[in-house]
Amino acid sequence: MKETKFIEQNKEKWADFEESLRERQHDPARLNELFVQITDDLSYARTFYPNRSVRMYLNTLAQRIFHNIYRGKRLPVERLRRFWTDELPQLFWLERRAFFLSFCVFALAFSIGVVSSIINPDFARIILGDEYVEMTVRNIEGGDPMAAYKREAPGGMTVSIAARNLFVAFQTAILGVLASIGTVFILLINGIMVGAFQYFFVEKGVFWDSFLTIWIHGTLEISAIIIAGASGLVAGSGLLFPGTYTRGQAFQISIRRGLKMFFGIVPIILLAAFFEGFFTRYTQTPDVLRAAFILTSLAFVLWYFVWLPRHKASTGGFHELPHDKEIPPDRAHAIDFKTIKSAGEIFSDTFTLLRRHPKTTLWGLFGTAALFVAFAFGLSHQDPASTFYLDSHARWPFNTLVGTAQFFQNDPVPFLFYFQTMLLVVLTIAAFRALEQEMAAEMRVPFSRKRMLLAVLPMLLPMLGFVFVFQLWEEGAAFLWGMAAYPFLALWSAVIYFETLNPLAALLRAFRLMRWGQGLTLGFLLVMLQVLLFMFIDTPIWGLALQLFSWLVPQQAGAMAAYTTIATCGAASVLLYFVFLMIALCGGLQYFSSREITDATSLFEGIEQVGSGRQIRGLARE
């Protein structure tokens, strides 16, 4: 059968299938029937038209049907079991050197904390703070040294401790992206703190009571921090030792391994928080029981993270080799605007675009940040430290995000809102122009100032979210606003820029194109990226970076405070503009992917061209 006849005979059926897939409610039996028929047609097309567009179209249609059938499929229990019994122990065996190095760094830091406390009796006050030391001294004098663990209700205490410890462990692991330096630094800080903390009770003569109380939860908690340190060292190893891979490929492989190790300790952190909230408070429990509890926890850690990996490796118990064969693809090729992409592919393509357009990235970020700093501090009628307040000891990383609202509305700086509007207009236009440079000439839209200005309007709404929503609901609103609003507003801007100049028509079109599952995933990735970037400013590493250049600061009253504020605001603005640029690029890429899902423009164009190309001895010329 000729290809044109094959298409003519089946195109109505395929159109019906397309319409059925757009329905909100799907009949499982009907979907199964569709899948069988489409795969039959696909098999025929693969046999007789292997290099034609009709095969590509049917393959895409079959994938969509398959996705609708299996998208609700739950994670198999067997796969989950294998992760805990095989994959994770194997990963710890392969990265045993990082595990041992993390333990050594923590042990060294612990020793430094102890020795420093012996040399300087006030060292505990420097590390732990005067308030905590004074409270503990009062508890010791009152006959209950561990009263601090009894102040809060068990449930609330467990939740707050779990959240704090998860953040510390995640911070330890993720700072491995700084060539593992950040991870080593966090391990040193935590080790010194624990050493000073433990020796403080030795100095006060209540070591045994403190040991049997603290290490009920501390055995799992400190083990988790050490393992998080190992995961951070693994994550940064790709940058330091790429081997035969490119540095980018090695880094992607290593960070996947590191994050998998981190996810493996999440239950340990939660269990330690539960022990601290519900068990540590019972200081009157017999010493034998508390010691047995500590030894049991230690035995579990040594069994699962040390003995089991070694035993399975020596007995051939691992089922398969590591998954390094899944090397991430090289993104040197051009961005494809005619394919359907997942949220992860869109997110990855944004980094590809930023890397392929370094001038846009560097000028867009550092140029706008320099203009912002010059405008904000140049027009402010107060000193720099009073113009912006950035809490470097925020209790939660979202607090730093909430603090960025003052970058848009700040009383000491007149007209700041309008100036930021201008800067974000420039960034949005730069993002869409970078997208256009990757397109074929026939896909590009005519240059128009009106088009550019209208396209920016939806992108300004996230800025209003910074100013108003964050101030009302703080952390929760920041997270939810970012997840839901960022992807949709960026998609709306892309529709205006690439399709229609009517904002209302573009809004309706954006609602039709929006895939909320994909959008929320993109929003989550963008918000988490924002949190991770701003987390860096909340770490002591940024303080050390400031100290490196502090010798350039003049020895005048208030000069150091001004330098710290200006440098921190400059760094925060670079991070803020980077995330905004990412939002705009994600919106443009999401638009083309969603348009292909809804309209299948490129596929229909390919089908219409079937039979119109030149022939070479009866075969279509490719």
Q: What is the pLDDT of residues 221-254, one digit of tens each?
A: 999 999 999 999 998 888 888 887 778 778 878 8
Model pLDDT, residue 217:
92
Q: Is 107 exposed, middle or buried (0-12, 13-18, 19+ CB in 10 A)?
A: middle
Long-range contacts, 70-75 (Cβ 8 Å, 24+): none
**Region at 402 (left for phi over 0; alpha for psi -120 to 50; beta for the rest):** alpha
Given a cut of 50, the residues of the chain with pLDDT beneath it are 325, 328, 331, 392-400, 466-476, 613-622
CB 309 within 8 A of CB 89: yes
Specify whether the CB–CB gap between 61 and 38 falls below 8 A: yes
CB within 8 Å of 23: residues ≥ 6 apart: none
Asked whether 495 and 592 are in contact (CB, 8 A), the reply is no
Radius of gyration of the chain (CA): 29
Q: What is the pLDDT of residues 296-320, one digit of tens each?
A: 999 999 999 999 999 988 887 776 5
Domain boundaries, the chain: 3-73, 82-324, 343-606
3 state DSSP class of 554: coil
Write the CB contacts of 391 (distance below 8 Å, at least 6 apart in sequence): 399, 400, 403
3-state secondary structure of 615: strand
- Which helix (H) or strand (E) segment holds residue 619: the answer is strand 619-620
Other CB atoms within 10 Å distance of the CB of residue 105: 22
What does each C-alpha distance from 503 to 293, 461, 509 come to in angstroms? 64, 14, 10
Half-sphere exposure of residue 214: CA atoms within 13 angstroms, side-chain side: 17
**Distance between CA atoms of residues 400 and 470, nearest Å:** 11
Asked if 437 and 352 touch (Cβ cutoff 8 Å), the reply is no
**d(C-alpha 463, C-alpha 417), whole Å:** 9
Number of residues assigned to the chain: 622
At 331 the pLDDT is: 46
Tell me how many degrees the CA angle 330-255-244 measures, rounded to the nearest 5: 50
Residue with tokens 């779990």: 162
CA proximity to 579, closest of 408, 347, 359, 278: 347
Closest by CA to 175, choosing from 536, 537, 574, is 536
In contact, 253 and 197? CB cutoff 8 Å: no
State in Å, rounded, how far the first CA of the chain is from the last one.
20
